[in-house]
């Protein structure tokens, strides 16, 4: 969710975000073979579009309905049905006049490892004073290993509560100072110290920094040499419920197939109730220690008498999914690019006993964003040729931890210093038109200046900072993979105030989506959706992209932004 409005779902890795492939066996999908004139099979599926050069609700409805159809089986990466969805996107881009720009035609293959925990042979439990807690996978703990090994085991590891598990010299914070956790299991709070006391001047206040992300917690624990790491789940600071954790971390998981860095052998989340029980049994009060952990100078606390053991058996498969890459060549500066990005994947098929079906279609997350960049591609292709080239990248495996965009950032199909600016669209709720436009990571780059002017020209709309900065949405979608290598990126869309029904209407819709449909089978397409807001936002972002593409401007990160130095160094070599 982007905001109280959930305008953007910021869907990747809510709880860790390496969700599953479909229940049917994935395939190596390195190079889909269907050509652009073979889109429809004998039964007419998937359909060939009949869309217009204009950005319209009708076209958006068509594209979302196809992408979220059961026949794509939840668009899981590296699965046959999911890769058919990627092929359909390529075919549709070809139909409207976009040219292929991948490393293999329309595609940039992304090498993945699919790791499936063999649950009946795996176990994880905590022993307290010689008595087991009896932790149960999915009920009060989820666990896995990112090590590309079929068997990982740790035995009787001491437990240490390390607060937020942060080492941040720029904030004068080190939760591991003077502590040796080699071979131990660390227990960690989600988010960062700024969340607990947003007015105390710590970190970035209520706005989550990267130090608050689950990814960072495990990375730092690995650098410290920990054998295990458990994040305590709390709904408010995490911004998602336990059901989302379970949905995101059961079934097959994906990682990039590349040399591993320091990894914690055993990673997981523990339910808050189980954490309270653990702390109480070792003579501590969880709430008191959590409060203390937000204060400067907090010292880690050994959970004496408790130890964790785990034995994980994992089935490994090496697979390939695909980013879809297309380009419209510029008339005057073809070697300069405006990047438009959205992720095409979702969670596939998996067991869900609480739902009527097991297909996670991801209609909002992210058929909406993919449909939007397809609409913009058609508008560019059938309109006046832009001065600069426009690069369209529909990335895979976002739900698995932003893997497709991470691969693109590490292996760009064009030089990074030739990408002038990028826009990412991820999961916009169909709530209708809004007075404002939410910017996630507000105050980051000069692209916002262009957005502000174009929004004002669109009937007086205005920019609103993310109303839920504590959720860290800026770090939860694909734009951050490019930001982390220096490319200025914008993540914006949706709003907080409906033009007719006001703020509460949007807030209710956002809450209902987050609680009932986000990363659930219920995220399905509805032909009655009001896509007027998505149409307006797509037109707005098209106007921003068109303005940059037709200019010689090079918008940068604002001075003082964490990514400014990377961009400046990159451009010095241009």
What's the pLDDT at 26?
40
3-state secondary structure of 422: strand
d(CA 351, CA 358): 6
| Reported pTM | 0.84
**For residues 433 and 511, is the Cβ–Cβ distance under 8 A?**
no
d(CA 219, CA 229): 10
Tokens of 97: 């006049």
Q: What is the CATH number of domain 116-316?
A: 3.50.30.30
Residue owning tokens 């409005």 = 5
What's the pLDDT at 262?
82
Render pLDDT for 240-294 as a digit per residue (tens, 0 to 9): 899 989 988 888 888 999 876 788 999 999 999 999 999 999 999 999 999 999 9
What's the pLDDT at 2?
36
Q: For helices 57-67 and 80-96, give the axis angle rounded to 10 degrees.
A: 150
What's the pLDDT at 42?
55
Render pLDDT for 66-90 as a digit per residue (tens, 0 to 9): 999 999 999 999 999 999 999 999 9
CA R_g for the chain: 23
d(CA 260, CA 258): 6
Please provide the DSSP assignment of 60-96 as one string. HHHHHHHHTSGGGTT--TTSHHHHHHHHHHHHHHHHH
d(CA 452, CA 542): 13
d(CA 244, CA 262): 27
Mean pLDDT of residues grouped by 10 in the chain (574 residues)? 42 48 41 43 83 98 98 96 98 98 99 95 96 97 93 98 95 96 98 90 86 93 98 94 88 84 92 98 98 96 98 96 99 99 95 77 98 99 98 97 96 98 97 98 96 98 92 91 96 97 97 91 97 99 99 95 92 89
d(CA 442, CA 426): 16
d(CA 20, CA 347): 6
Q: Where exactly are the structural domains of the chain?
A: 43-113+318-572, 116-316
Please, what is the end-to-end C-alpha distance for the chain in angstroms? 36
DSSP, res 466: -
Please calculate the CA angle 236-213-10 and round it to the nearest 5 degrees: 75
Phi-psi group of 424: left, alpha or beta (phi > 0 → left; psi -120 to 50 → alpha; rest → beta): beta
Residue partners of 84: CB distance under 8 A and separation at least 6: 32, 34, 46, 72
**CATH T-level assignment (fold) for domain 43-113+318-572:** Aminopeptidase (3.40.630)
How distant is the alpha carbon of residue 508 from its chain centre?
23
The secondary structure element, H or E, covering residue 515 is: helix 502-516
How distant is the alpha carbon of residue 154 from its chain centre?
30
Length of the chain (residues): 574
What's the pLDDT at 17?
45
Give the closest residue to 107 by CA, choosing from 86, 88, 84: 86
């Amino acid at each position: 969710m982007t905001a109280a409005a959930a305008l953007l779902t910021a869907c990747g890795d809510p709880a860790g975000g390496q969700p599953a492939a479909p229940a049917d066996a994935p395939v190596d999908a390195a190079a889909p073979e269907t050509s652009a004139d073979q889109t429809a099979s004998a039964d007419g599926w998937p359909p060939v579009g009949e869309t217009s050069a204009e950005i319209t609700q009708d076209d958006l409805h068509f594209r979302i309905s196809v992408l979220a159809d059961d026949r794509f089986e939840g668009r899981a990466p590296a699965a046959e049905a999911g890769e058919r969805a990627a092929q359909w996107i390529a075919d549709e881009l070809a139909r409207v006049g976009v040219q292929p720009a991948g490393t293999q035609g329309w595609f940039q293959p992304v090498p993945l490892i699919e790791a499936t925990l063999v649950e009946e042979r795996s176990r994880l439990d905590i022993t307290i004073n010689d008595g087991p807690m009896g932790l149960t996978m999915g009920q009060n703990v989820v666990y896995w290993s990112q090590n590309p090994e079929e068997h990982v085991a740790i035995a009787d590891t001491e437990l240490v509560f390390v607060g937020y598990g942060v080492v941040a010299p720029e904030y004068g914070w080190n939760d591991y100072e003077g502590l040796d956790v080699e071979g131990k299991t660390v227990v960690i709070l989600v988010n960062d110290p700024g969340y607990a006391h947003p007015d105390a001047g710590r970190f970035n206040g209520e706005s989550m920094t990267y130090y608050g992300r689950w990814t960072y917690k495990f990375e730092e624990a690995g650098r410290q040499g920990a054998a295990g790491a458990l994040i305590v789940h709390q709904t408010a600071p995490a911004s998602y419920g336990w059901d989302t954790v379970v949905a995101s971390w059961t079934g097959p998981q994906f990682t990039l197939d590349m040399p591993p860095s320091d990894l914690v052998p055993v990673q997981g989340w523990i339910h808050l109730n189980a954490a309270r029980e653990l702390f109480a049994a070792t003579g501590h009060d969880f709430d008191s220690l959590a409060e203390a952990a937000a204060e400067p100078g907090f010292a880690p606390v050994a959970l004496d008498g408790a130890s964790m053991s785990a034995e994980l058996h994992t089935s490994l498969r090496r697979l390939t999914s695909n980013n879809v890459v297309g380009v419209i060549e510029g008339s005057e500066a073809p070697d300069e690019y405006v990047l438009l990005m959205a992720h095409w994947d979702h969670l596939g098929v998996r067991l869900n006993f609480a739902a009527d079906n097991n297909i996670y279609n991801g209609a909002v997350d992210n058929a909406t964003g993919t449909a939007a960049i397809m609409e913009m591609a058609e508008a560019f292709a059938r309109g006046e040729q832009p001065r600069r080239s426009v690069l369209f990248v529909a990335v895979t495996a976002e739900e698995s931890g932003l893997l497709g965009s991470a691969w693109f950032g590490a292996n760009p199909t064009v030089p990074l210093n030739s990408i002038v600016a990028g826009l990412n669209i991820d999961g916009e709720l169909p709530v209708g038109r809004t007075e404002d436009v939410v910017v996630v990571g507000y105050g980051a780059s000069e692209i916002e200046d262009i957005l502000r002017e174009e929004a004002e020209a669109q009937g007086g709309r205005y920019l609103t900072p993310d109303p839920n900065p504590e959720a860290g949405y800026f770090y939860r979608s694909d734009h951050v993979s490019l930001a982390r290598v220096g490319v200025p990126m914008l993540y914006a869309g949706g709003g907080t105030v409906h033009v007719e029904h006001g703020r509460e209407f949007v807030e209710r819709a956002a809450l209902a989506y987050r609680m009932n449909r986000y990363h659930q089978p219920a995220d399905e397409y509805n032909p009655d959706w009001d896509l007027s807001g998505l149409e307006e936002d797509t037109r707005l972002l098209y106007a921003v992209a068109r303005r940059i593409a037709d200019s010689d401007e090079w918008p940068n990160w604002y001075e003082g932004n964490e990514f400014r130095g990377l961009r400046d160094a990159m451009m010095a070599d241009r």
